[in-house]
Chain A
Amino acid sequence: GENVEQHPSTLSVQEGDSAVIKCTYSDSASNYFPWYKQELGKRPQLIIDIRSNVGEKKDQRIAVTLNKTAKHFSLHITETQPEDSAVYFCAARGVGGNTPLVFGKGTRLSVIA
């Protein structure tokens, strides 16, 4: 089955700097890669997703890149703000039948004002 590795587990950046979180996956047939943000005491919320027919996707300060050959995808947050502080989870979904998302272990991002 699919296995997702996420790095780093914690990340601290100065306000205004960029943050990058990386994930690798094992199933080369996986074709859907969402990212979730979970603020303290709240539910995980989808912030951006990418499908395997696209190499990059942007939404304001957030972007995701996908390298299918290397089987890794990354979340980029530019001009970070204190409200970006949260735990971020990547996930991947393999191909075939009843395949749920497989989540990474999460990255705790702290943006220091």
Chain B
Amino acid sequence: ETGVTQTPRHLVMGMTNKKSLKCEQHLGHNAMYWYKQSAKKPLELMFVYSLEERVENNSVPSRFSPECPNSSHLFLHLHTLQPEDSALYLCASSQDLGINQPQHFGDGTRLSIL
């Protein structure tokens, strides 16, 4: 059982489509994260939100657009993606950004770009 829920679990889309990934945490955490995990590559931090404010954007292409409407929800809006964007997208949350507490991950969305 996880306190971080991601939907959908699997997504197949064409390069011209627009879709959104959703993440919801039920842990009362104030920080949320998006990671990209490709085959045989390390976890790549994409975005960090703290108290609904974006605090980090690791040179992510503009075809990925995050949104954090409140501290429990995080979205990743996708448009005109490329085949190399196919990966597992993981959402995580932590109590706060500046304290020594672990991150809790969701099960991820497996994204395939045709």
Q: A residues engaging B (CB < 8 A)? A: 31-32, 34, 36, 42-46, 49, 51, 89, 93, 96-101, 103-106
Interchain CB contact under 8 A, B100 and A51: yes
Interface residues of B in 22-60 (CB under 8 A from A): 31, 33, 41-43, 45, 48, 50, 55-56
Among B90, B103, B106, which residue has its beta carbon within 8 angstroms of that of A101? Answer: B103
Q: Provide the bound-state CA to CA distance between A98 and B90, in Å.
A: 20
Interchain CB contact under 8 A, A44 and B105: yes
Least CB distance from B102 to A in Å reads 4
Known A98-B97, A100-B97: A34·B102 in contact at CB below 8 Å: yes
On chain B, the residues within 8 Å of A43 by CB distance are 2, 4, 90, 105-108
Q: Size class of B's contact patch?
A: 20 to 34
Query: Please, could you name 11 A-B residue pairs with CB atoms under 8 Å apart, sorted by A?
Result: A34-B102, A34-B103, A42-B107, A43-B2, A44-B43, A45-B105, A96-B98, A98-B98, A99-B98, A100-B31, A100-B48
Least CB distance from B49 to A in Å reads 10
Interchain CB contact under 8 A, A104 and B42: yes
On chain A, the residues within 8 Å of B108 by CB distance are 43
Interchain CB contact under 8 A, A97 and B42: no
Q: Chain B residue with minimal CB distance to A35?
A: B102
Interchain CB contact under 8 A, A44 and B90: yes
Least CB distance from A35 to B in Å reads 10
Q: Provide the bound-state CA to CA distance between A44 and B102, in Å.
A: 11
Known A43-B90, A105-B42: A99·B97 in contact at CB below 8 Å: yes
Interchain CB contact under 8 A, B43 and A103: yes
Q: Provide the bound-state CA to CA distance between A75 and B4, in Å.
A: 26
On chain A, the residues within 8 Å of B103 by CB distance are 34, 46, 101
Least CB distance from B106 to A in Å reads 6
Top 8 A-B pairs, shortest CB-CB distance = A32-B100, A105-B42, A43-B105, A46-B102, A103-B43, A98-B55, A98-B97, A43-B107
Q: Provide the bound-state CA to CA distance between A44 and B88, in Å.
A: 12
